[in-house]
């Protein structure tokens, strides 16, 4: 992408849940952009706020949670100002979501064609059934679901086919942004590889933008253009996939990458395991939230929260350990390349 156009701006977004131990900010003051036509990965350990972020982008946070502050600007409009009817139209027509297990999202007593026809007619009431069915058949055939399978129920389809139906529900209304929340977790590696190829083809053919939420670093490397690394409710690093994988700046990002199993590992070597675990967000640590687990933490890391700052064009990091001289060295290395 030569010229990057912003599709969605997330500005100072926070999502809070009320618990018996006190309020928890699962997403805490996050700011970033999603570019039109890109595949953006959102990675991090379980409990870091990834799925909450995905739901917040569609304003799908349910009580006892709520979006406590921030703006969600989609194509120039702040959707936080939308009423219920406008949000209902926004979901599906502008943004759609693919969940981890389609069986919990698809109606078990509705056929595949009924799911798609219903989605079309809810948003476009004047569309007659025959036209909606024709549109659904053409789309699903492009996604690898043959016409004769359209009369099947979800339980009659494989996991990969059910995920294709979920993708079809996102595309049938020409959504601009599709959020895939751990969409490949329940699939075996062969089906996952096929789905990855298909997501790339969908981006290229339909021009949609994809936000891929996952804990699978290898999947992000294979699929995404950029990656945002999330830890304890914050985005701690964001940038182009090649730059972050070649030269991770935040210690947490380095730990995640080292944790990926290496098939060339000598049998005498031990797999890397990051020390500690994510903090309890009812009482998050002062300063940098990663400092209790960081092997290089200094006094300032414990005392003051670092800013999420742009260190080179398009490259952001939230860490006191990243000094100006390191960024200059990184720029030199890019020139040499």
- Give the span between the Cα atoms of 227 and 45, in whole angstroms: 14
For residues 317 and 300, what is the distance between their CA atoms, to the nearest angstrom? 16
Establish if 114 belongs to a structural domain: yes
The order of strands in the sheet holding 234-240 is 95-98, 177-181, 209-213, 39-43, 226-231, 234-240, 315-317, 309-312
Res 334 pLDDT > 50? no
- Does residue 277 lie in a domain region? yes
Counting the structural domains of the chain, the total is 1
Q: Which two tokens stand for residue 77?
A: 């409009």
**Does 308 or 207 have the greater pLDDT score?**
308
Specify if 229 maps to a domain. yes
Evaluate whether residue 240 is within a structural domain.
yes
**Cα separation of 115 and 94, whole Å?**
18
* Tokens found for residue 170: 């996102």
List the one residue out of 104, 56, 92 whose CA is nearest residue 171. Answer: 92
pLDDT at 325: 45
Tokens of 72: 């969600």
- Return the SS3 of 198: helix
Q: Which two tokens stand for residue 119?
A: 């989605």
What is the domain range of residue 31?
6-262+271-336
Check if the beta carbon of residue 90 is closer than 8 Å to that of residue 96: no
Please tell me the distance from the alpha carbon of residue 183 to that of residue 186, in angstroms, as a whole number.
Answer: 7
What CATH number is given to the structural domain containing 239? Answer: 3.40.50.300
- pLDDT tens across 243-281, in order? 999 999 999 999 999 887 766 655 556 677 888 899 999
Does 309 map to a domain? yes
Nearest residue to 238 (alpha-carbon basis) of 29, 41, 18, 25: 41
Residue 136 located in a structural domain: yes
Overall pTM > 0.85: yes
User: Alpha-carbon distance 253 to 229, whole Å?
Assistant: 7
**Residue 146 reports pLDDT greater than 70:** yes
Asked if 76 and 113 count as a contact pair (C-beta separation under 8 A), the reply is no
For strand 226-231 and strand 234-240, is the pairing parallel, antiparallel, or unpaired? Answer: antiparallel
What percent of the chain stands above pLDDT 70? Answer: 92
Q: Are 69 and 226 in contact (CB under 8 A)?
A: no
Percent of the chain with pLDDT over 90: 64
Mean of pLDDT over the chain: 89
Lowest mean pLDDT across 146-150, 191-195, 199-203, 207-211:
191-195
Q: What is the pLDDT of residue 269?
A: 60
Residue 1 domain flag? no
């Amino acid at each position: 992408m030569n010229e990057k156009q912003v599709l969605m701006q997330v500005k100072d977004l926070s999502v809070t849940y009320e618990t018996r131990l006190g309020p928890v900010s699962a997403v805490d003051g996050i700011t970033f952009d999603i570019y039109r036509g890109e595949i953006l990965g959102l990675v991090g350990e379980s409990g870091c706020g990834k799925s909450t972020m995905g739901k917040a982008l569609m304003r799908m946070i349910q009580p006892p949670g709520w979006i406590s502050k921030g703006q969600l600007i989609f194509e120039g409009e702040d959707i936080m100002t939308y009423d219920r009817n406008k949000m209902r139209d926004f979901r599906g027509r502008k943004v759609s979501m693919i969940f981890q297990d389609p069986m919990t999202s698809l109606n078990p007593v509705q056929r595949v064609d009924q799911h798609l026809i219903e989605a079309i007619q809810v948003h476009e009431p004047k569309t007659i059934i025959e036209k909606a069915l024709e549109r659904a058949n053409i789309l699903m055939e492009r996604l690898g679901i043959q016409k004769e399978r359209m009369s099947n129920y979800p339980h009659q389809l494989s996991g990969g086919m059910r995920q294709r139906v979920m993708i079809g529900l996102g595309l049938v209304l020409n959504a601009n942004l599709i959020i895939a929340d751990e969409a490949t977790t329940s699939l075996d590696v062969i089906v996952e590889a096929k789905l990855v190829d298909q997501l790339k083809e969908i981006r290229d053919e339909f021009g949609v933008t994809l936000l891929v939420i996952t804990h699978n670093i290898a999947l992000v490397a294979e699929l995404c253009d950029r990656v945002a690394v999330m830890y304890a409710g914050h985005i701690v690093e964001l940038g182009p996939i090649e730059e972050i994988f070649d030269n991770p700046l935040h210690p947490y990002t380095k730990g995640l990458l080292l944790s990926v199993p290496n098939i060339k590992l000598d049998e005498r070597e031990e797999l890397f395991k990051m020390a500690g675990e994510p903090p309890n967000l009812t009482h998050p640590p002062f300063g940098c939230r990663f400092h209790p687990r960081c092997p290089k933490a200094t006094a300032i890391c414990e005392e003051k929260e670092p800013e999420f700052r742009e260190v080179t064009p398009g490259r952001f990091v939230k860490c006191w350990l990243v000094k100006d001289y390191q960024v200059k060295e990184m720029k030199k290395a890019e020139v040499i390349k």
